[in-house]
A = this chain, B = another copy of it.
């Protein structure tokens, strides 16, 4: 399966941003280590620890800072292009894994684990497939101090690992459907600049591989899975996606057709592939000899219809890009490890031990009530930090709800809250936290989705005049255009929308991106206005008729 990574981006800008983020983090770490304590309160520490780049001004640098400083990831210094996923991000991935696993189990998909290595022989069975992956394969050539007789590659995806066994195991139509999934990591040695979550040389994912008797059955499943992928984005990550089909140019190497969910990053107006569910057709079954006797025509054999589908940790990066702000991460409650953080207020040197103890007990009682209601909380009892520092720290980490609790709150028998997404503040009677806090978290989840959905909708615009395309892209839109679906025409559209001059008269930070647009998907939901075979293809050089509205954009 292919994870489509960003094909073009300003490399020098990214490298600079990455370097700046690393330097800032190292500086902070050094300062902290020198202080022997983990950064004491005060302005200077706040400056060092907070996000130093504005999302609007330098989006790539902002992203690098957020994922690093929020403690989602750590750069792997030893080998470039690899990242450590820390508990904050692994909680998100585990939540997604549980949700998705439960749904595919209900569909009858079974869990399996195939070896990490691939022989060159298996890989070479499908020509387009091997061509797609060969440049990124990591080859093991030695074990201990001995050279291997035959080098083996680490899987970039497992079609060629698994399908020889599908050929062995599938003996009759009664063995169909065969549906296996595995959760693992794959290695693709990208030559391009890597970015945490979005493009990394190793990533976690699930890969499902299924075999069916007919094209129709395979097609149904491909869409069921696509709907689950949409669910991961929309229901868990509060990120809207457009469901559709890839054009021939953008489909999976060796597959029949690819369905996809496509996201949108408002900050730079780029599209981003969310996850793909491929119908492989009979291409692989022919290469790997996966056949059954045709139940409708005894004696003759048919090749099975196959699907493969994958969702990777890329989803976390998309979520960060869509929701984050200048204070750091903003996490949707459903995937946040800590949904509500308690900040005790007003405890100082003059507080009596009894008063302190009582305050602590009250907070722990409220937390126990919330735990029963299914709310994940923590309380920040750290000493030596200002309240302001704590606020910043939890905002940086994206915790959806901050609950402040001081002696005045205790007197009034309320908690004071602040929403991470909107900053909105309010109070809730302690007697009602068990119902009101879960409700509030659901409200936050829904509001985050609604906001992101509106942004995507407003920036997904139908265009029927070629000259409006480039201005629309520059205004951070993706576009829906009447398109003939021809591959060469698509290449030409990309070339026509690529800026070739260096915009010499425009200041560096105001230059429009040079990147041309490519097709993101053929949305399943087609607006009116394109009559197949009648409407013109939007490419002014193209003489073919349009077949569909197709979503194009600058993209990752």
Q: Which residues of B contact A117 (CB under 8 A)?
A: 78-79, 82, 202
A425 at interface by CB-CB < 8 Å:
no
Q: Which of A83-91, A266-274, A323-331, A404-412 participates in binding chain B? A: A83-91
Q: Are A110 and B139 in contact (CB under 8 A)?
A: no
A524 at interface by CB-CB < 8 Å:
no
Q: Which of A140-148, A251-259, A426-434, A496-504 participates in binding chain B? A: A140-148
Copies in the complex: 2
A152 at interface by CB-CB < 8 Å:
yes
CA distance A382 to B175 in the complex (A): 11
Min Cβ gap A200→B in Å is 9
Partner of A118, one of B78, B116, B144: B78
Q: Are B113 and A165 in contact (CB under 8 A)?
A: no
Partner of A151, one of B142, B144, B180, B189: B142
User: Mask for A87-106, Cβ within 8 A of B = 1, else 0?
Assistant: 10011011000000000000
Report, as a range, how many residues of chain A touch the other chain.
Answer: 35 or more
A474 at interface by CB-CB < 8 Å:
no
CA distance A139 to B94 in the complex (A): 30
User: Mask for A108-139, Cβ within 8 A of B = 1, else 0?
Assistant: 00111111111101100000000000111111
A contacts with B: majority SS:
mixed
Min Cβ gap A188→B in Å is 9
Residues from 390 to 413 in A contacting B, C-beta threshold 8 Å: none
Q: Are A116 and B151 in contact (CB under 8 A)?
A: no
A185 at interface by CB-CB < 8 Å:
yes
Q: Are A32 and B90 in contact (CB under 8 A)?
A: no
Q: Are A83 and B115 in contact (CB under 8 A)?
A: yes
Min Cβ gap A111→B in Å is 4
8 A-B pairs within 8 Å (CB atoms) are namely A36-B172, A38-B174, A78-B164, A90-B112, A135-B144, A138-B143, A143-B189, A144-B191
Other 4 A-B pairs with CB < 8 A, given A79-B152, A134-B145, A138-B140: A33-B171, A74-B168, A78-B115, A117-B202
